[in-house]
Every structure is written in C-alpha cells, then in structure tokens.
Structure 1
C-alpha cells in the first residue's frame, strides 16, 4: 500500500474545478497551454488534444473553428467592460462572466463556432446539425460537456450557450450527461456515494468525493492502482480510480 497526501491548495486545481460567481478562481499561474491548430486560441494541453480528436472524429475540421479559449484575467476584464458598454448590463450578466469567475481563465473552456466569414465573438453560431451537431453528441466521449444549458441557468448563473464546452475528462462528462447534471450539481451527486462507470473496453472506474477540511488529507491506495485527483474548488477533491488489470 502507498500513502498519498493531498494539500488543501489542490482543491482549487484540476479538470473538475467549479468556477462561477460563488466559486471564483484563485489567481494561479496559467496551465500548460497549446495553440489550437495555429489559430492563436489557447487551451490546456490535454483538453486541446482531446478536442482535436473529437473534431477529427466527426469530420469537422473544415466546419468547426475555435473562437475563444484561455483568457488572462486582464483579457476577461476587458471583455466584460467592452460588452457592458456595447450591450448593456443585462446582456453582459447573461453571457459574460465576471473577471475571476470565468471558466476561460482555467484553460479548460472553449467557445466553438461554425466556420463563416464573420463570427460573433460573444455568441458564435454553433448549430445542432451537421458537424457541429455531431460534435455535440460525441463530446462527452472525449471528456467535454456543454457547460451552460437553458434548464440549468438558475444554477450556473449564465444563459444557455450552445457554443461553450468545458473539459472535465472521462468518465465525468459521461456521468454528468447520463444523469442530467451540470458541474454545480456534480459535487453533491458524488457526496451521496461513490459512482461506478464502465469504459467501452469493459474496464471499470470508480469516482468519489473526498472532503479536505484541513491543510492536508491522506489516502492509502494499493501500490499498482491508477488514480487521478482533481479539486472541485469547494474545499473538496474528486478521486477517480481505475480498476486494476490483473
């Protein structure tokens, strides 16, 4: 067995961090970023790799374009102020997150658009048909969720955004999709008890929530167990354990 120690600051890091007005993002160095196909749009490396794989899988390279990925806090502030001036307070609150409360600052969120001569930066067109629709239906298999849905507006604080996708990883995207959950609901879903998920190859994964009330938390794991831990930005950690291969 091996002893694994988690630090409290890890609760604010990882692909499952919750970022909204009630859970602002701590000012931390940006994640490892990569340029999406030379577009100048940046995304965290793992998220970028799987985004490209999903777009390729649906044959969408000619039709789907990245519009906005990672943003610095200063850029988010500028977008907020410019939108407020041009569109007014109500529109801005519905479609633009406050600086420090934007998923774009994590490098895990991407706004996608249908290729066109002109694309609206704040609300790009991403229809539910052709390659765009195929991407939406396959996204969870690659770890992405449509982050802001109409029926979840009271929880997310953001209006429906069919173009905004968030990388949370596998199996979390599938668990959220299958159970009709947004990221705001996922922590409570896991607090109710560990959840199991079977990959397409039959290998099982178990996901559980770990509260981290002190500066450190400890966990004992079998030596050869593969696992991953992500903070949820609410004082807790989400643990994903892969079934051992015998």
Structure 2
C-alpha cells in the first residue's frame, strides 16, 4: 500500500475547483501564474494552465482547426478581471455585465483553467465571441470533452451557474470528469453535488474506460492533514473542490 497526503490548504487547488460568486478564487495568484504556458507556439499572448494548453492543442490538431478557432481570452489576473468588469459596466451597463462578466475572484479565468474561444474572423467581440453550434465548432465540442474540457455555461443552467449561456467559454476539468458531465448534462456545480454521494474507493462512482475501471469519490476535509491509502500499483489524482474537500480520481489495478 502507499499513502497519499491530503492537506486542508489544498482544497483550493486542482483542476476541479468550483469558482463562482459563492466560491471565490482562494489560490495564490503567483502559484497559478507559475503553471501557465502559452496557448500555442503561434500565440504567446494568451496563457493557460499547462495541462489545459496541451489538451486544447490536441483537440485543435485532431479536428484541423488551428486557423478556424482562435483564443480570445485566457488567464486574467485579479487586476485584469477588475478592469474588465468596470469597463463592461461603463460600456454595456450593469444588467449586461452581470450576465456575462464575473466579478473579481469569481472568475474562472483567474484560475488559468478557462479559455474563451471564437471563430477566426476580422472582427471578434472580446466579451461575447461567436462560437456557433455547427460544423467545426461542434466537432471541437465533441473532441474537447474527451480531452478534459466542458462548455461551462450552458442554456438552461443559468439559475445554477449564475452566468448566462456562453457557447465560447470552455473550462478544463480533466478526464473522465468532462465526459461524465456531458453524459449526465451536469453543470460543474451539479457534478460537485453528485460526486459527494460517493465517499470512498469502496463506495465510488465507477467509470469504465477501455476495459479499465476508474473510481471517483469525495473526501471531506476534516483536519489539517489527512491520509488516503491506495494500492502500490494504483494511480491517483486529487483535486480540491474549492470549498470543503477533495475529489479523488483513482485508476485502480484491482477491481
């Protein structure tokens, strides 16, 4: 057996952190910046989390869309988010801004895990870029979910997410969480509630992938330091939920 150390401070770190007006960004900005890379060799202006960048490039390469789909907005510092929010209020009014722009520390863009994408054309709206539901754009959605991305703000989920439909906004959460969310039509908020029903490796949500089983479960943070014991050959990924615990992804070698 091997032991995984879970520190309460890590509740605010990881690919599955929930960021919204109730759950603000808590991770140190410098720590986030240290994990950022350029979206691509051609685009050094937009930065995102290293894992998200790799998944994005694989997706665009697979559908041959490097020249058709372009980054519009990626990582933003708290200062940049503050300026964006103020400018949106000044230019578009408070009602529009509340629908499409998060307040500072309530924006996923500050995590480095979110990116706004748009159709590559002469004029691109920075706040609401075009990303339609047809052709190469839907092919992107189909492949992106297998690479760990979700379309974060969907129609019909506004009362849950607090944000209007944004076809252009994609959030990296990692695989297989992205596929499960799409299959079950979950917003990230709903997925967090769902996974809390599973509280151990024995009582886990089990996802089958290429004849292998992935166990997913939640561990509540109850102490400054906790431990999780797994098999010697098992692989484990742990993400905080940005609130009260950890989501565990266990690639188990035993049934």
Q: TM over 0.5: same fold?
A: yes
TM alignment of 1:67-86, pairs within 5 A: 67-86=72-91
Q: Does 1:36 align with 2:39?
A: yes
Q: Matched residue of 2:157: which SS?
A: helix
Question: Against the structure 1 CA distance between its residues 245 and 48, is the aligned structure 2 distance closer, same or farther, given a 3 Å change threshold?
Answer: farther
Residue of structure 2 equivalent to 1:147: 152
1:100 offset after TM fit, Å?
A: 0.4
Q: Matched residue of 2:48: which SS?
A: strand
Q: Does 1:184 align with 2:193?
A: no
Q: Matched residue of 2:80: which SS?
A: helix
Q: Does 1:242 align with 2:251?
A: yes
Q: Matched residue of 1:218: which SS?
A: strand
Residue of structure 2 equivalent to 1:195: 205
Q: Does 1:18 align with 2:27?
A: no
Contact persistence 2:74–2:109 (CA under 8 A): yes
Contact persistence 1:147–1:164 (CA under 8 A): yes
TM-score (norm 2): 0.93
Q: Does 1:226 align with 2:235?
A: yes
Contact persistence 1:128–1:136 (CA under 8 A): no
1:196 offset after TM fit, Å?
A: 1.1
Contact persistence 1:146–1:162 (CA under 8 A): yes
Q: Does 1:132 align with 2:137?
A: yes
Counterparts of 2:6 and 2:252, CA distance in 1? 21
The gaps in structure 1 that reach 5 residues or longer are none
Residues paired across the two proteins, number: 245
Cα offsets for 1:94-149 (capped at 9, x unmatched): 00000001000000000000000110000000011121121012221010000001
Contact persistence 2:234–2:253 (CA under 8 A): yes
The gaps in structure 2 that reach 5 residues or longer are 199-203
1:10 offset after TM fit, Å?
A: 0.8
Q: Matched residue of 1:150: which SS?
A: coil
Cα RMSD, aligned residues only:
1.3
TM-score (norm 1): 0.96
